[in-house]
Amino acid sequence: MVVLQDEMRQVLDATRVLLDEYDAISRGDKNQIGSAIERVRQSESLVVTLRSALIRELSQVGTLLVNREDVLRAAFAVEDIFGHINGIAFKMSQLPRPTAKNKKYKDAMTELLGLLIDGISKLNECVRALSINSDQSILMASQVQQIEGSIDTSYREGVAMTMKTATNVKELIVVKDVLESIENCADAMLDAADASTILALGL
């Protein structure tokens, strides 16, 4: 369970980097943009290493751990979030500075990123609680679900705003891609919360 918690901590750290990246994009700081993307990549590399360690650990335990498949499913779900975090980091890096500085876009994206960080933070608490209090873990998972619902609402509002605000097709596509990638990451976050709930029920 400790390895799973370490994985989740890396996911949370990488998610927080996304706000730093957006700030760097709006300021036109290419060095900071590159640094943020590299930090995300390093965290992902650590998670892959941790996942391998977890598989080795579970194989050594063998059939002694009845719910080992649930543990592995939760680990895969947590790792899957990283694919979406990478997608957000890359797509944001394609935003032109004037677009990133646009107040309407900036407000929409920072709100979504803030909600995503809140959701991932709750998911981190959910995973940490697995080894302490399974009921608390289930409660945290339900809060993740609530935040995911808020992200869905903000995403739809953001898309509607973009349709009205975009001055050309390129701007529409690049902004909508970022908004969509955040929403997809929230879906992966919810999948991980569901996997954690299944694991908690078996403890």
CATH assignment of the domain containing 44:
1.20.58.220
pLDDT in tens, 147-185: 999 999 999 999 999 999 999 999 999 999 999 999 999
The closest of 198, 186, 203 to 11, measured between CA atoms, is 186
Amino acid at 111: E
Query: Which pLDDT score is estimated for 37?
Result: 92
The closest of 127, 150, 129, 113 to 15, measured between CA atoms, is 113
Q: What is the pTM of this model?
A: 0.92
Ranges of H-type helices in the chain: 2-27, 30-61, 68-93, 97-101, 103-129, 134-165, 169-201
Asked whether the beta carbons of 188 and 119 are under 8 A apart, the reply is: no
Q: In Å, how far are 102, 109, 131 from 137, measured between CA atoms?
A: 39, 29, 9
Q: Which positions ≥6 away from 69 have C-beta within 8 Å?
A: none
Q: How many domains does the chain divide into?
A: 1
Q: How confident is the model at residue 54 (pLDDT cuts 50, 70, 90)?
A: confident
**Residue 67 confidence (pLDDT) above 90:** no
**Residue 109 confidence (pLDDT) above 70:** yes
Asked whether the beta carbons of 89 and 18 are under 8 A apart, the reply is: yes
Query: Which pLDDT score is estimated for 66?
Result: 56
**Residues spanned by the domain of 37:** 2-201
Query: Which pLDDT score is estimated for 63?
Result: 54
